[in-house]
């Protein structure tokens, strides 16, 4: 049985993330979405809220209904060892993603002693979502723009609430 982890900040989960998890699930018997902390980013949503939104979105699609969602409490490689993963799956929207992801993949390989037991698999995302990033979703929402068609149901409301709620999100500096 092959197990893969799809890690990320998921702050919030987007339609682009769902596309990658769906593709990962077609390649691996078991997929675990790992909601982790990116030290380079300040999260808008708390980890439990990010987990809840991801769980609801994945459960709503029969293709991903059996995907687990868990918080990654520390290093991703430790989490992967605990769940028995043989692969980390990350989506690529373009070259900038690859440039950001390659050092992380190599660091994770370094942390596993260079073993071949855990490989990072890069999956090109659907081009329809090439412009969809959690950071842009938050920025558009912060300025009162529409983001409902970029994220699963319920996520846009959660983002707006976290930003201060509805029209209030528009007036935040
Ligand atoms: O969605 P992101 O922000 O691109 O995902 C990056 C993430 C959260 C997967 C990465 O920062 C991570 O793995 N964090 C967990 C802590 C860890 O293992 N850090 C070393 C990564 S090389």
- The whole-number pLDDT of residue 47 equals 97
Closest to 117 measured CA to CA, from 125, 109, 129? 109
List b or e across 40-78, with b for residues whose CB sees 16 or more CB atoms inside 10 angstroms: eeebbbebebbbbbbbbbbeeeeebeebebbebeeebbe
Report whether residue 104 contacts ligand 1, using a CB cutoff of 6 Å: yes
pLDDT in tens, the chain (173 residues): 999 999 999 999 999 999 999 999 999 999 999 999 999 999 999 999 999 999 999 999 999 999 999 999 999 999 999 999 999 999 999 999 999 999 999 999 999 998 889 999 999 999 999 999 999 999 999 999 999 999 999 999 999 999 996 544 443 33
Q: Among the atoms of ligand 1, which is closest to the Cα of residue 36?
A: 8
- CA of 77, closest atom in ligand 1: 18
d(CA 160, CA 80): 32
Cα torsion angle, 66, 76, 162, 149, sign: negative
State the pLDDT at residue 170. Answer: 41
Angstrom distances, CA of residue 168 to CA of 12, 89, 138: 19, 37, 14
Task: Characterize the bridge pairing of strands 119-124 and 87-92.
Answer: parallel
Q: Whose CA is nearest to atom 11 of ligand 1?
A: 38
Binding-site residues for substrate sit at: 9, 41, 76, 90
121 and 89 in contact (C-beta within 8 Å)? yes
Distance CA 141, CA 130 (A): 18
Residues 29 and 43: their CA atoms lie apart, in Å, by: 30
Atom of ligand 1 nearest to the CA of 104: 22
Report CA(114)–ligand 1 centroid distance (Å): 18
C-beta 54 within 6 A of ligand 1: no
Give me ligand 1 centre to Cα 110, in Å. Answer: 14
């Amino acid at each position: 049985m092959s197990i893969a982890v799809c890690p990320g900040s998921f702050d919030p989960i987007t339609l682009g993330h769902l596309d990658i998890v769906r593709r990962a699930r077609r390649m691996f018997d078991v997929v675990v979405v790992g909601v982790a902390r990116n030290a380079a980013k300040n999260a808008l949503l708390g980890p439990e809220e990010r987990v809840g939104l991801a769980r609801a979105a994945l459960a709503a699609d029969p293709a991903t209904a059996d995907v687990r969602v868990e918080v990654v409490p520390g290093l991703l490689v430790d989490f992967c060892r605990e769940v028995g993963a043989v692969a980390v799956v990350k989506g690529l929207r373009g070259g900038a993603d690859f440039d950001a992801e390659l050092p992380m993949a190599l660091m994770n390989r370094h942390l596993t002693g260079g073993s071949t037991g855990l490989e990072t698999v890069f999956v090109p995302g659907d081009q329809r979502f090439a412009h969809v990033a959690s950071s842009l979703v938050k920025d558009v929402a912060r300025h009162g723009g529409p983001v409902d068609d970029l994220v699963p149901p319920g996520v846009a409301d959660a983002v707006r609430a976290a930003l201060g709620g509805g029209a209030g999100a528009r007036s935040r500096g």
